[in-house]
Amino acid sequence: MDTVKQQSADGLTQSLNVEKIRQDFPILSREVYGMPLVYLDNAATTQKPKAVLDRVAYFYNQINGNIHRGVHKLSEESTQEYENAREVVRNFINARKTSEVVFTSGTTASINLAAYSFGEVFVHSGDEVVVSEMEHHSNIVPWQLLCERKGASLKILPFRDDGQLCIDQLEGLLTPRTKIIAVTQVSNTLGTVNPVKEIVRIAHNHGIPVLVDGAQGVKHGNIDVQDIDADFYAFSGHKIYGPTGIGVLYGKENWLEKMVPWQGGGDMINRVTFAKTTFNELPFKFEAGTANYIGASGLAAALDYYTKIGVSAATAYESDLIQYATRKLSEIGGIRIFGTAPDKAAIISFLVDNVHPYDTGMILDKLGVAVRTGNHCTQPVIDHYGIDGTVRASLAFYNTYDEVDRLVEAVQRVKEIFG
Ligand code: PMP
């Protein structure tokens, strides 16, 4: 993809040909309420480029056969596409082996899988699991369920008011009973980019494995799970321009080998008798039933597309764009921003004066600007600030400075309406 340097009105550099990129995303040219759509809800889900839509349609139209079990041509080709997709994912996150890439239905399923299958073997009564205060419910509740089942306890690494984790308190939380740390790479509410590599280093000094929730982080910069040295890394296809219903759990082979299966069924077995069942090799041991092989292929198309755009260029552009948005929103006056860490992804949570976030969101919607309001599945974050929720704008590389201006104008309108 060509990249061009453009100057925004504010003098910030635009190193992507965004107008050209936007043409790859059919939905971006639709209107809502007679106005061009401004889609700023990318942390909830991203839009899909034609490359992904075409791949999925082609698969259903020309290739579809159930994987791994058939001798016929369609099954063989489908299997090949599915396993090719696994290799694309492996390469994208730089895992050592494809056997360490487990396909799931999304981040939530990946974390539940890890919590159950790791927890069954390694977590016992009196043990401890550490999560941070800024986790998505998906990275809290599965661990809570595990702790309740096992009689273990959940310990919390807090964050400061600016949205940075209190890393200096991590060491003090760890005990010989700490069995795993689960932490998000990027907060979906505060936008904070956490120092996950540093967290892993501290944890490993104590012999403790780390699960990184990469739902938001996977598209923020080039991901190298070996460099982070994460023991587990979870993400969803739909948040990185791929289809819904497909996700990944990366796990280091030495952990996955020792973990028990999560779900039983077809594909995950080696030999079944009524007396005993033996399990398939990695990663199939964790992929019971018909996998979302077409989703996996769509995800591979998304990762190929994103790689062609240039992950670094996209992240740099998003970073410029969020700085611009932050400055412009702050200039309005009366805007409270939640999450002001120095290292932030393209997510901004805010409140307008004393206006309820839901009211702000409704007005923004009527002005064609799609944002999210509420607790963003992070109730402890909202509780931290003692508020009802926030308005969250989350940007992607296909958003423009003009769209940020539309957001700012819409927020000004909210202020006018509420006096
Ligand atoms: N973790 C984080 C940080 C998220 O932002 C999300 C989605 N909002 C999830 C986990 C859950 O992802 P999914 O709903 O795709 O399973």
Q: How far is the CA of 366 from the centre of ligand 1 (A)?
A: 26
Pick the closest to residue 216 from 45, 27, 39, 38 (CA basis). Answer: 45
| Mean pLDDT of all residues in 164-184 | 98
pLDDT range class, residue 15, cuts 50, 70, 90 = confident
Q: How far is the CA of 270 from the centre of ligand 1 (A)?
A: 32
Is residue 33 helix, strand or coil?
coil
DSSP-assigned letter for residue 41: B
Mutate to test the pocket of ligand 1, among 104, 134, 139, 216 (most ligand atoms within 8 A of CB): 216
Q: How far is the CA of 215 from the centre of ligand 1 (A)?
A: 5
Is residue 375 lining ligand 1, measured as CB closer than 6 Å?
no
340, 377, 405, 412: the active-site residue: 377
Q: How far is the CA of 392 from the centre of ligand 1 (A)?
A: 15
pLDDT tens figures, 67-83: 997 899 999 999 999 99
In this structure, the number of other CB atoms found within 10 A of the CB of residue 287 comes to 25
What CA dihedral angle connects 65, 67, 71 and 72, to 10 degrees? Answer: 20
> Picking from 37-46, 69-78, 120-129, 401-410, which range would have the lowest pLDDT averaged per residue?
69-78
Q: How far is the CA of 418 from the centre of ligand 1 (A)?
A: 33
Ligand 1 closest atom vs CA 185: 3
Is residue 200 lining ligand 1, measured as CB closer than 6 Å?
no
Ligand 1 closest atom vs CA 239: 15
Q: How far is the CA of 107 from the centre of ligand 1 (A)?
A: 6
- Percent of the chain clearing pLDDT 70 (strictly above): 97
Q: How far is CA 217 from CA 95, 107, 138, 214, 293, in A?
A: 16, 12, 15, 5, 24
pLDDT range class, residue 11, cuts 50, 70, 90 = very low
pTM of this prediction? 0.97
Is residue 350 helix, strand or coil?
strand
The domains of the chain, with CATH numbers, are: 18-48+311-417 (3.90.1150.10), 52-307 (3.40.640.10)
pLDDT tens figures, 333-356: 999 999 999 999 999 999 999 999
In the numeric block, the tokens 């996977």 are attached to 218
Mutate to test the pocket of ligand 1, among 104, 113, 138, 141 (most ligand atoms within 8 A of CB): 138
Is residue 184 lining ligand 1, measured as CB closer than 6 Å?
yes
Pick the closest to residue 119 from 229, 220, 317, 255 (CA basis). Answer: 255
The pLDDT of residue 288 is above 50: yes
The pLDDT of residue 10 is above 90: no
Is residue 215 lining ligand 1, measured as CB closer than 6 Å?
yes
Is residue 192 lining ligand 1, measured as CB closer than 6 Å?
no
Q: Measuring from atom 12 of ligand 1, which residue has the nearest CA? A: 107
The pLDDT of residue 9 is above 90: no
| Active site annotation includes 377 | yes
Sign of the Cα torsion 374, 375, 381, 386 reads: positive
**φ, ψ dihedrals at 385, nearest 5°:** -95, -5
Is residue 189 lining ligand 1, measured as CB closer than 6 Å?
no
C-alpha to C-alpha distance for 177 and 366, rounded to whole angstroms: 52
Which of 10-19, 69-78, 210-219 reaches the highest mean pLDDT?
A: 210-219
What's the confidence (pLDDT) of residue 419? 82
Q: How far is CA 107 from CA 24, 103, 292, 393, in A?
A: 26, 10, 14, 21
Q: How far is the CA of 202 from the centre of ligand 1 (A)?
A: 25
